[in-house]
């Protein structure tokens, strides 16, 4: 009983501090001590700690590499170029700008992960909207929603996908093929709702100047990102983890940045966000303690068996609900081992739930919390009522239709 209470209390503390961030301390400042408490109190045995560290090690390595890769691509001007492309494509039309944001945010989320969309693209969206003289709200909200929804496509698009990828037993390519239709359906639902929900903002006339000459295309960064993306499925054939491919791409960009003196070794280390990596590992240990002390058994009674359409819908729904209650990272850590017994289709349904579901509340994903912080830095207040209304209009429909699309993919493509 004491172990159960202690592990749950530590998880609540970690999540609460991740949301509130008292004293502006990093998440790891609370998660690492919490992990130490559950270990020292015996709420989780040492062999389970070791298992979690071994399971999360490749995931953390990949996350570090892709954060460095995205940051160095930004330093090369890739995201600045994206802003120029969006402005020229929009040609003064807020509706065309929304379409451009949807395309770029979906692509960047899929290839460089949702962190790149939130941290690097969102400020560019603000700047582009200001330069065009259009209301930023629809476009900024799009970057938040698509950082979650558009992360369905690839194993490398989201930390949740990486955590679940090994449990699916699928190759990189088969994962992407199965998730392609759910990805497209979910984005289409979001786009349709956004056009109606933000109709007044999108109909407001543009007051900005005409777009200037296009920015220089950062060819080296584009080629490196493309080569890294191609390397993921190729490496998967030979049993090489995605972390090694991402590390190779990051090293190429790092060598170039250091040679051209565009960055420094300490700057590259900061880009890897070591405190956040420590937070992920510590969170995994705390969640494992909670699962060992009763949550796993309770979820086992709730999660359905099989991959029929009703079972997949129920699995995605449970995953979405749990993501909004305890955040999507703990949710996927708790659910994936249970869903894996029903096969890869059930694990993919969990990912549909934990990736789309967080658009319903602020606390659903760390990406949304970070996006809200960035929006406030740009003087753009995010209202809880408006965010929730938009989430209620998009999330259930996107969740249900994407799950149906997954069921179709499983029947047509197979696992």
Share of the chain above pLDDT 90, in %: 50
pLDDT tops 90 at residue 37: yes
- The whole-angstrom separation of Cα 121 and Cα 104 is 9
CB 198 within 8 A of CB 82: no
| Host H or E run for residue 134 | none
DSSP code at position 379: T
- The whole-angstrom separation of Cα 229 and Cα 234 is 9
Q: Please report which confidence band the pLDDT of residue 407 belongs to, taking 50, 70 and 90 as the band edges.
A: very high
- Nearest CA to 237 out of 181, 164, 174 is that of 174
pLDDT digits (tens, 9 = 90+) for 348-359: 999 999 999 999
Asked which of 31-35, 145-149, 232-236 is least confident by mean pLDDT, the reply is: 232-236
All residues at 6 or more sequence positions from 237 whose CB lies less than 8 Å from its CB, including other chains = 171
- The whole-angstrom separation of Cα 32 and Cα 20 is 17
All residues at 6 or more sequence positions from 252 whose CB lies less than 8 Å from its CB, including other chains = 224
pLDDT digits (tens, 9 = 90+) for 189-243: 999 999 999 999 999 887 766 666 767 788 999 999 999 999 998 988 888 888 8
- Nearest CA to 182 out of 411, 404, 415, 413 is that of 404
Q: Please report which confidence band the pLDDT of residue 368 belongs to, taking 50, 70 and 90 as the band edges.
A: confident
- Nearest CA to 173 out of 186, 155, 185 is that of 155
CB 410 within 8 A of CB 404: no
pLDDT tops 80 at residue 413: yes
CB 280 within 8 A of CB 320: no
- The whole-angstrom separation of Cα 368 and Cα 18 is 12
pLDDT digits (tens, 9 = 90+) for 72-117: 998 998 888 888 888 888 888 999 999 999 999 999 999 888 888 8
CB 208 within 8 A of CB 56: no
Structure-block tokens of residue 238: 């030979």
pLDDT at 99: 95
Asked which of 71-75, 368-372, 376-380 is least confident by mean pLDDT, the reply is: 376-380
CB 265 within 8 A of CB 258: yes
- Nearest CA to 34 out of 57, 2, 15, 11 is that of 11
Vertex 363 angle, CA 362 and 367, to 5°: 80
239: helix, strand or coil: coil
Asked which of 245-249, 286-290, 366-370, 389-393 is least confident by mean pLDDT, the reply is: 366-370
- The whole-angstrom separation of Cα 368 and Cα 351 is 17
* Average pLDDT taken over every residue of the chain: 89
pLDDT at 212: 64
- The whole-angstrom separation of Cα 263 and Cα 68 is 11
- Nearest CA to 350 out of 281, 290, 399 is that of 399
pLDDT at 365: 84
């Amino acid at each position: 009983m004491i172990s159960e209470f202690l592990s749950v209390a530590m998880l609540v503390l970690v999540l609460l501090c991740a949301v509130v961030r008292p004293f502006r301390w990093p998440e790891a400042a609370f998660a690492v001590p919490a992990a130490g408490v559950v270990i020292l109190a015996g709420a989780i045995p040492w062999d389970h700690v070791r298992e979690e560290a071994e399971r999360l090690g490749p995931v953390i390595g990949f996350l570090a590499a892709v954060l460095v890769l995205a940051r160095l691509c930004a330093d090369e001007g890739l995201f600045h170029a994206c802003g120029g492309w969006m402005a020229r494509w929009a040609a003064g039309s807020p509706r065309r700008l929304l379409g451009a944001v949807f395309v770029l945010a979906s692509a960047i989320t899929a290839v460089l992960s949702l962190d790149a969309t939130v941290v690097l693209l969102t400020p560019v969206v603000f700047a582009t909207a200001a330069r065009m003289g259009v209301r930023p709200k629809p476009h900024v909200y799009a970057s938040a929603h698509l950082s979650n929804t558009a992360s369905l496509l690839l194993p490398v698009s989201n930390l949740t996908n990486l955590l679940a990828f090994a449990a699916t037993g699928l190759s990189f390519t088969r994962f992407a093929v199965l998730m392609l239709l759910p990805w497209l359906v979910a984005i289409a639902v979001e786009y349709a709702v956004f056009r109606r929900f933000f109709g007044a903002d999108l109909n407001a006339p543009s007051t900005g100047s005409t777009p200037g000459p296009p920015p220089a295309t950062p060819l080296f960064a584009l080629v490196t990102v493309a080569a890294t993306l191609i390397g993921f499925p190729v490496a998967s054939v030979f049993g090489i983890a995605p972390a090694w491919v991402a590390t190779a791409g990051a090293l190429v960009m790092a060598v170039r940045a250091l040679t051209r003196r565009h960055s420094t070794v300490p700057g590259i280390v900061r880009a890897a966000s070591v405190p956040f990596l420590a937070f992920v590992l510590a969170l995994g240990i705390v969640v494992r303690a909670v699962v060992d002390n009763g949550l796993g058994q309770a979820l086992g009674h709730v999660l359905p068996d099989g991959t029929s359409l009703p079972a997949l819908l129920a699995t995605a729904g449970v995953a979405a609900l749990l993501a909004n209650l305890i955040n999507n990272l703990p949710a996927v850590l708790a659910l994936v081992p249970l869903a894996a017994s029903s096969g890869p289709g059930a694990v993919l349904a969990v990912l549909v739930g934990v990736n789309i579901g967080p658009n319903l509340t602020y606390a659903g994903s760390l990406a949304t919390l970070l996006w809200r912080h960035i929006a406030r830095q740009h003087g753009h207040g995010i209202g809880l009522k408006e965010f929730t209304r938009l989430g209620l209009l998009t999330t259930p429909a996107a969740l249900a239709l994407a799950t149906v699309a997954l069921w179709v993919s499983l029947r047509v493509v197979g696992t």
